[in-house]
Structures are given as C-alpha cells and as structure tokens.
Amino acid sequence: MMKTQTKSIIAAVLILLLLAAIWGLEQVLPASSIVFTVLRKGAIYSLIAVSLNLLNGFTGLFSLGQAGFMLVGAYTYAILTIPAEMRDSVYMYYDGGIIDFALPVPVALLLAGVVAGLFGFLIGLPVLRLKSDYLAIATLGFAEIIRALVQFDGFGPVTNGSNVLRSFPVFHSTLFPFIVSGLCIAVICLLINSSYGRAFKAIRDDEVAAEAMGINLFKHKEMALVTSAFFAGIGGALLAMFQMMVQARAFTSAMTYEILLIVVIGGIGSVTGSIIASFLFIACSEWWLRFLDAPMVIGGFSVPFLRPGFRMVVFSVIIMFVVLFYRKGIMGDREFSIERIYQFFRRRFGKTGKEAETHE
Amino acid sequence: MKKFLALVMTLAMVLAIGAGCGGGGDTQQGGTQTGDKVVKVGIFEPASGENGAGGKQEVLGIRYANSLQPTVNIGGEEYTVELVEVDNQSDTTKAVTAAQSLASSGVSVVLGSYGSGVSIAAGDTFKTAQIPAIGISCTNPQVTQGNEYYFRVCFLDPFQGTVMANFAKDEMKADTAFVITQLGDDYSSGLGAYFKQAFTDLGGTVLEAQFQTGETDFNAILTNALNSDADVIFAPSSIQTAPLLIQQARQMGITMPILAGDTWENESIINNAGQYATDVYLSTFFDENDTSNPAAADFVTGFKAWLNADPQNLTNNGDSDGVAAVSALGFDAYNVALAALEAAGSTAGPDIQAALPGVTYDNGVTGSISFNENGDANKDMAYIKTINVETGAFDFLKTQSIAD
Amino acid sequence: MDNLTYYIQQLLTGLTVGGQYALIAIGYTMVYGILRLINFAHGDIFMAAGFFMVYMSATMPLYVSLPLTLLLTVILGVAVERIAYKPLRQAPRMSIMISAIGVSYLLQNFATYYTGGLPRPYPKIPLIGDVIVIGNVTTSWITILTPILTLALVIGLVMLIKYTKVGMAMRAVSRDFETAQLMGIKINNVISMTFVIGSFLAAVASVLFFSKYPTVTPTIGAMPGLKAFVAAVFGGIGSVPGAVVGAFVIGICENIIKAMGYTTFSDAFTFVLLILVLIFKPTGLFGEKSTEKV
C-alpha cells in the first residue's frame, strides 16, 4: 500500500510528464501531423465519453441524448465567439445575425457547459420519471428535437439556421484540449468519489433500496443528468473548435451511438476505461486502420476486400465482438490507477515470500 | 523505483507515438515512381454520399490530366506528381477529417471539391495548414471569401443564379418560380437565394420551400407547387435528390419545367429518373460538342479514349463515355496546379499560394483561366443543357452570359 | 387545382407514408412485446432489403428476385437475432440494446462498403409506378396500393396472432416470458417466428417504399426506423393494431407539417409526440397495463 500523499505526487508528476511530452511532440513534429489529430480528438472524445459514462455507468440512467447536449454546447460557443466583423459573411442569409458582440473564449466555453446543463435540467424534469429503455428513447427524442429547433429558420438570426457556423476562435496547441478535458474529467472524478457519487452508484445498483436509504432519487438523477450535460456541452464546444466549424446536421443519433460504443468498449462504469477507449477508438478510426481503406498490391497480388469503407466494417465487427463476448470491455468497472500498477509490478518484481503466496 | 517506472512508461508511450507517425496517411498510390523527387497533390473529393457520383467524375478528369502530364518542373528539377486521394463523403464534418488527413500526408496543393458545403467546411483547415486549395466546381462565393488559400476554376453562384433566372424569364416565359432548396446545404441555399434575387429583379415572383438533408419524400412540397400558380420549378440540389424530386413531380402530374444548377449534370440522374426526366434544364461549365476551342476538342477525344480503355473508369463515369463538365474542370484544375507549382518554383504551400494569383492558364479546356482578387476564376459563360429522355444524354441548348 | 383536390392529394401522401411506417412498426412492436428489446437494427434490415432487391434484380427477372429478396431479408433478420441477441438473453437489458445498436452500426457500415457509399437506383417494378388519374387527382398506383396492402397484411397478421397456435404462443410469451417457458412453449422458436414476421413485413415495406422513392442509401433506414418505433410506442407497444394506427397518425401529421412549410419540424414532431405519450400515457393508445418490474 502506498500513502495518499505519495500517490498524489506520482499522479502530478505523471500528468506534468504527459503535458511535457505533448509539448515536446509539438516542437518535433509538423503541426499537421496525424498524431495531433488523434491526440486532440481523443482528448475531446474522452471528456464526452466520461460524461456519458457518468450517466450510463455510474447512475444507471441509460441516456442517448449526448449528441443533443454536445450540439447545444458547440452552438453556444460558436454563436458567442464569432468576431463581430466576421458575422456578415457567416450569417450571410440572415443579414449578419442579431448578435454583434463576441465573448472571450474561456467565458464562452463555460457558458457552453452552462446552457447545455440548463437544457439537461429542463429535459430531466419530464424524462427522469421514465425507466431504462423508455428513458433511452425519450432522451434520444429530445436530442432530435434540439437539432430541429436549432435548424429552424425562425431562429436563423441567432443560430444561422441549418447553415455552417465558422470563423470562431479555435485552439492551435494540443495542450489546450488536454488541459480543458483533463480539468473537466478531474471534476467528474471528484464528484464520483464524493457522497453524491456514492448515492449515484446506490441508485444504479438498486433504486428501491437507495430510496429506502433516504436518497432523493429525482434530485440525484437530475444532478447526474445536469452534470453530464454540462460536460458534454463543453466537449461539444471543444469539438467545434477542433473542427473549426460546426453544423447541426452532424449531431445525429449516430454520433451518440458512437460515443456509447466507446463507453462500452472501455467498460461501463470506468472513467479510465472510457479515456483509454476514446484514444483507441480515434487512433484506430483516424490512423491505424486507415490502410484498410486503400487498395494494396503485394508482389503483383492484389489483397482482396481492401477498398474504401472496409475499415469501418472491420471496426464494427470488432465492436460486435466486444459487445457479445467481452461484455465488460477493457476495464470493466475497475479503474486504472497508480496503486494498481504499483501492486502489479511489486508482485512481478519486488516479491517477498508473503506476496508470492497470494500470487496464485 | 516508482518514479523511474513512470518515466519509462511515459517515454515508451511517446516513442510508440513518435515511431508510428511515419506510417500514416501516405499509403495511397504507388504507380509512377520514375523521378527521385515527388510532389504530392491532394484530391479532396466525395467518392460516396449524396454527391459521390459527381466527385468521381471530377477525379477522372484529374487522373486523365495526370496520365498526360505526370511530371512537373519545379525550380529546374523534374518532380513526379503523386496524387493523394481522400473521400470527403459529401459530409461537412467528414470533410474536415479528410482535409486533416490530406494535410498530414504532406500535400503541396489540394484540388477540390465537388459541392460547396464541404469546401467551406474544410477551408479553415487548409488555411491553417497553409496548403492552397483549388476548388473545381464549388460555386458558392463563401468558399474563397476571406480565405486567401482557396482558389477556384469555375464560375460563381451569383452568376449562375442570374443565368438561370434570365433563362426562366426569357426562354420559359415564367412569371412565378417555385424555388426548392436543401436546408443547411450552402450550395443549394446559396444558389436558390441568388436565383430569387435575380428573378425578382427581373420582375418575377418567387415562392419558396425547403427540405431537410436526407429527405426522400417531396410530395408535400410538390403538391404546394402544383397548387400554386408557379410556371417553373427551380431546385438546385444534390445528385441524390434530383431523381427523387423529378420522379415525384411527374408522377403527381406536374408538367412545368424543372430548372437546376451545375450538380444536375450527372448521368446517374438520367439513369435513376428514367422516363420522368422530361423538361429538365440546367446550367453547367462545359459542353463536349463545343469545338470552338481546340484544347477542348483534343481533350474530349483523348478523354473518351482513356475512359473506354478501362472499364473501371467507365463505371466511375456512370457507365457512359459522355464528358461531364466537372471532368473538364478537374482536368483544368490539375494543369493550373502544375502551372502554379512551376511559377512558385517550390513545393511549399505559402510559395504556391503567393504564385497562384499571377498564374494565367490559356490552354484551358473550359476557357482561359486567371484569378481575380478573391481567388475566383474570371469566367462569364454558362452552358444550358436539357435532359434527352430518348438518348439518355444531356443535350446542349445554348450558351448564356450576362452582359453587365 | 381546387382546395378539395389539394387536401386529397396531401392526405394520400400521408396515408402512403403512414402505410410504410406501419409495416416497419409492426416489427418493432412485436419484438418489443416479446423480448422487451428496442431492435435498433430493424430500420437497417429494411435498408438491407432495399439493397438485396437492387443487386438481385440486376441479374434475375422480377418474379425470382422479389421472392428471393423477401426470403433473404427474413434470413438476415433471424440471423441477427440468433447471433447478436440470443447470447445476451440473460444479460441486462442495456447490454442487449447496445448489441442492437452495434448491429445497426455494422449493417450500415457494411452496406457503405459494399455499395461504395453511392446511392443505388431501385429497380422499377412494372405497373405500380404508373401514373393514375382519379377525378382531379393525379397520383401513382403505388400511392394507393400501399395503404391497402398494409391493411390487408395487418388483418392477416392479427388473425394469425388470434387464431393460430403460434399466435397463441406469442401472446403467452409476451405476457409472461418465464411462465410460458415452464408451460412448454419453445421460446426460441416463438422468438424466431417474431423476427420472421417482422423482417418479412420490413421487406414488404422496403419494396413499397423504394418503388416510390427509388434511391437506396446505406443510412436510409435510420429515420423511417425511428419513426416507426415512435409509432409503435404511440399505439401502445406490443399492440399490432396500435402500431398501425400510430403509424398512420404520424405519416399524416408529418405530411401536414411539411405542407405548411415547417420542414424542420416534421421529424421533431414525431419525437414530441413520443415524449408526450411517454409522459402522459406510457402504455400508448391500445397498450395493456403492464406491471412495472423493478
């Protein structure tokens, strides 16, 4: 066993090392390298996946509304930060829109979360009374309603209707999404480990028992939903920054499914699982499996099946395997911690007689 | 011990990432490795999605140009041109990813895309990566506006909208037009808006309706059109939408002419709409039977022979050896890119971007190409065509330019 | 065009759309009734049926390709159940739903891969696409045929459920899964039968749908699928007539909204309806009061 203090120090050192490594990479590699695409998108998806996991994994609320919250966050951020002088060209079908100010990036990011959280709160009022699959389908429905509202022509002067929003400030360093996502995930972790978090888990494990213990079901569920929406909103804003543009029609239920699959691969109820799965998912889909899409000829022999689209087929087959045969995902509901690695290595290398016994 | 471990782990991770980065992106294409020096030209086109069929035709023009002109002289050295193709899937979000993968594979200049929405969406990505892009048939003004890295070789929608408005007013004798546009698609809404403006300026009345991306049922909208006193329908939209709209209109007994923009010049529309594709008019960039330009005549003969030599090419061209305007534009865009590389004398993006405004390409199949201060080609002629249901081809009707 | 003709024309369109949704919705409602599973892949089965027809008819005459399409779709539907749902029968409901989402993802990606992502033209079936003029209304045969065929199939299905042994078994299983098993009902056969019927009707729906909108794309099943599901919930999930009524209501309302010019809300309306039903009458129009299992 390690002392808490030692653990925090190691964690801090690791995080600093990670950030330094990213900084180092940015100095060495060209800015357009695929590595940065993977790292940035991976960091953003980590945050979104963890926010969904908070609902699905820790509170047991099967929600499929994440794309809607991301949409709200992304749009809030974009609408509030487009510089006034660019508005005429962005809102070209709506005479420059009705907003003529631009907020600083951190404020807009925070507001993206707040507005998304507000939507979460309002949606929670009716839907949290529903259970399991009905809840899932109702949240999915709300996500679609949000998408329709944003695309509505009448709101065009604010939302630009269903047209693209662009020209808002974006980040140029990979450190930015890492730091923002990292902070957000840290807050989620604190929440999970607080008494609220224990209440969430109690609700997940047995609603009736939790209620009998005096946990206010509705209040806690609402809290989980609002928190999840808040961070999904920030994630959406980061995604908009990453893409340098945002359009409502991209935030379909297919996007939620993708995030849900990430959570499942990582392990429902594991924060680190979601993070690892996010990076794996993005790295595979953007980078490592790309070769499957290109026709390949080895020694005059054309490799069968390889053509555009094959990557996604292989990918979905892998996902089905995980879902069917490896239902716990990469991490199950455990966490990847320094403690665990320490124990692992101690068992391996620093074994004393006593520990060798426990090691079967 | 622990700290050492942490350090080792972090280092291992960094190394793993670093070691792998050589292998990304550039798996495409082997082919013509004659020279030692290689310059990469990115092709940013849809090969799937609602405009996939058009993107494929554009790529055919580029590949044909590449087969004729596989090398380029840059700064006194002979470089082999390597084409790097990505599929932007006709989707604005996927387009950004596709553009990023092009940037990471180290292309010097990008050609594309078919469809304005994807070009606008990816514009900032190219700009940030400092890679100049030459749009081929993206006609919306926003593509090049405020983006000094985006150029284009085709005419613009304000022009095209005016051309079609004139055509509707003068040739079709229309007083009221029913404009159907696709929500959230910059090409469709833009062209619709410019048509509306020009048509009302000419003294006509415009009725409007919109549909969502992915919509298949246009009956409600078309019933409204039928119930109105419109004389003509103007429906700029994607290749996928066109046959659905045409068929449903004709099945409902709508006999008024249907007008559209350049996207509708695609064989798959004729194949899918079949006997219903009567009275359909569209404007486009080029006509294969226009022999006034010797470069065009050469191109048409050569391109047809090249198409027929490979069944795969024919399939990509929609099982026909008709020469699409976008193939001709693709051909021109490739040659403009080579001219820019030569003029820049460098493979670095900023150098090429600086050289492009000064490039004038006179042998263009679609006419001489030079750029104005926005990076748009100076073009002032559109070809109006109609669908011939009997032959299953596009018949040339007239050329139209606007005087003012 | 006078007002009456206008309304008739709009109503006809709504009925056709409703008929298509109804046939898909039955698959949802039956599967949910028995397995308590929202079969997210059902819309993609419908899409796959479209592609089967596209590829079959390229080489075969219609009288071969049409039955073969129906057969292949049924096989696909049952295969999905056997491979992706059956192993998870004892697992939590969330797992099996995730599996359904995974299947949907797989089918869409495979279709994208196989077709190269380009929309494919649907083969023309003779006669049913022809234009017909009734009074002042011009329309196509398919528009009239769809609601009629839908109703005929539904009546047939209701008879099957009411009066045959299989139907009785289905009702028993949907009432109480475990007791039915104890009573000697072969659960797996009943479930397979449900998927056979659901997929068959989805295949019929796909023939009707694509004859009217003759372009097949890999993601085309998603929206009709979701709407059909809402129709099933609206009508009271588990109830076949309820799903049909729900589907027609949604089809007609959606068309009215589009005709009024609020295209953006035509999809959203469906979901508003869903949420209203879930909040105020979770059992739907015709649903039976079920005891909430905790």
Per-residue confidence (pLDDT) for residue A300, from 0 to 100:
67
- Give the pLDDT confidence score for residue A351 in this predicted structure: 53
In chain A, which residues have their Cβ closer than 8 Å to the Cβ of B7? Answer: 17
Does B101 sit behind a cis peptide bond, omega within 30 degrees of 0 on the bond before it? no
Q: For all residues of chain A together, what is the average pLDDT?
A: 87
Report the DSSP pairing between strands B280-284 and B382-388: antiparallel
Q: Would you state the pLDDT for residue B35?
A: 52
Q: Do B3 and A13 make contact, defined as CB atoms within 8 angstroms?
A: yes
Q: How far is A15 from chain C (nearest CA, A)?
A: 33
What is the band of C1 on the pLDDT scale with cuts at 50, 70, 90?
low
First to last CA, chain A: 20
Predicted confidence (pLDDT) per residue in A108-147, tens digit: 999 999 999 999 999 999 889 887 778 888 999 999 999 9
> Checking phi first, is residue B96 left (phi over 0); if not, alpha (psi -120 to 50) or beta?
alpha
Statement: A39-343 belongs to CATH 1.10.3470: yes
Q: Which pLDDT value is given to residue A145?
A: 92
Q: Using an 8 Å CB-CB cutoff, list residues of chain B that contact chain C.
A: 47-50, 52-53, 87, 89, 183, 209-212, 214-217, 219-221, 223-224, 226-227, 239-240, 243-244, 247-248, 250-253, 268, 271-272, 274
Strand partners, B377: B371
In order of start, what are the domains of chain B with their CATH numbers?
Answer: 35-155+304-371 (3.40.50.2300), 157-284+383-400 (3.40.50.2300)
User: pLDDT tens digit string along C105-160?
Assistant: 999 999 988 888 888 889 988 888 788 888 778 888 888 889 999 999 999 999 99
pLDDT in tens, A6-36: 878 888 888 889 889 988 888 888 877 888 8
| Residue labelled with tokens 């959606």 | C254
User: How close does chain A come to B72, measured CA to CA in Å?
Assistant: 25
Q: CA angle at residue B220 from B217 to B226, to 5 degrees? A: 120
Buried b (16+ CB within 10 A) or exposed e, A21-55: bbeebbeebeebbbbbbbbbbbbbbbbbbbbbbbb
Out of A57-61, A323-327, B352-356, least confident range: A323-327
Interface contact flag, B3 A342, Cβ < 8 Å: no
Decide: B24 and B45 in contact? Cβ < 8 Å. Answer: no
How does pLDDT run along chain B (404 residues), one tens digit per residue? 444 444 444 444 444 444 443 333 333 344 444 457 899 999 999 988 888 889 999 999 999 999 999 999 998 899 999 999 988 888 888 899 899 889 988 899 999 889 898 999 999 999 999 999 999 999 998 899 889 999 999 999 999 999 999 999 998 999 999 999 998 888 998 999 999 999 999 999 999 999 988 888 899 999 999 989 899 999 999 999 999 999 999 988 899 999 999 999 988 899 888 889 999 999 999 988 877 888 898 999 999 999 999 888 888 888 888 899 999 999 999 999 999 999 999 999 999 999 999 999 988 899 889 999 889 998 888 999 999 988 888 999 988 887 54
Q: Contact at 8 Å (CB) between A219 and A210?
A: no
Task: At A225, list the tokens.
Answer: 């939903």
Mean pLDDT across chain C: 88
Q: What is the pLDDT of residue B11?
A: 45
C-alpha torsion B135→A172→A164→B283, nearest 10: 0
- According to the model, what pLDDT value does residue A346 have? 75
* C291 pLDDT more than 60: no
Comparing A168-177, A329-338, C71-80, C256-265, the range with the smallest average pLDDT is A329-338
Alpha-carbon gap, residue A51 to A68, rounded angstroms: 13
Report d(CA B79, CA C187) in Å as an integer. Answer: 69
Tens digits of residue pLDDT in B286-340 = 988 877 888 898 999 999 999 999 888 888 888 888 899 999 999 999 999 999 9
One-letter amino acid for residue C166 of the chain: V
Residue C227 · residue C270 · CB < 8 Å? yes
A173 exposure class (CB count in 10 Å sphere: 0-12, 13-18, 19+): middle
Angle (CA) A139-A142-A143 rounded to 5° is: 90
Cβ of A161 under 8 Å from any chain B Cβ?
A: yes
Note whether B22 contacts A: Cβ–Cβ < 8 A: no
Contact across the interface for B243 and C219, Cβ inside 8 Å: no
How far is it, in rounded angstroms, from Cα C31 to Cα C202?
A: 13
Compute the nearest-CA separation of B216 from chain C (Å).
Answer: 6
In angstroms, rounded to a whole number, what is the distance separating the alpha carbons of residues C270 and B205?
34
pLDDT category of residue A153 using cuts at 50, 70 and 90: confident
Q: How confident is the model at residue A354 (pLDDT cuts 50, 70, 90)?
A: very low
Q: Mark out chain C residues that contact chain B at CB-CB < 8 A.
A: 1, 6, 9-10, 13, 17, 112, 116-119, 121, 124, 129, 131, 133, 138-140, 212-215, 217, 219-220, 223, 255, 258-259, 261, 263-264, 266-267
Coil, strand, or helix at residue B314?
helix
- pLDDT at site A72: 96
Token pair belonging to B328:
């001709």
Stretch A82-89: mean pLDDT: 88
CB pairs under 8 A between A and C: 126
For residue A163, what is the nearest residue in chain B, using CA coordinates?
B184
Give residue A46's pLDDT band: very low, low, confident or very high (50, 70, 90): very high
Among candidate residues A50, A79, A39, A71, the one with its CA nearest the CA of residue A280: A39
**In chain B, which residues have their Cβ closer than 8 Å to the Cβ of C124?**
274
ipTM here: 0.86
Lowest-confidence pick of A41-50, A157-166, A327-336? A327-336
Task: Give SS3 for A166.
Answer: strand
Q: How far is A310 from chain C (nearest CA, A)?
A: 6
A335 to chain C, closest Cα gap in Å: 20
- Chain B residue with the nearest C-alpha to that of A85: B146
- Is the Cβ pair C139, B251 closer than 8 Å? yes
C110 contacts on A by Cβ (under 8 Å) = 313, 316
Q: Give the type of residue at B368.
A: S
Per the CB < 8 A criterion, the answer to whether C22 and C154 are in contact is yes
Please tell me which residue, A358 or C5, carries the higher pLDDT value: C5
Contacts of B294 (CB under 8 A, 6+ apart): none
Is the model's pLDDT at A348 over the cut of 80? no
- Using CB atoms, which residue from B28, B100, B189 is nearest to A37? B100
Please check the confidence at residue A246 and state whether its pLDDT lies above 80.
Answer: yes
Three-state SS at A177 = helix
Residue A67 confidence (pLDDT) above 80: yes
pLDDT tens digits, C189-218 = 999 999 999 999 999 999 999 988 888 999
Please say whether the beta carbons of A158 and A99 come within 8 A.
yes
Domain C14-280 belongs in CATH node 1.20.120: no
pLDDT tier at C290, thresholds 50, 70, 90: low
Q: Give residue limits of the domains in chain A.
A: 39-343
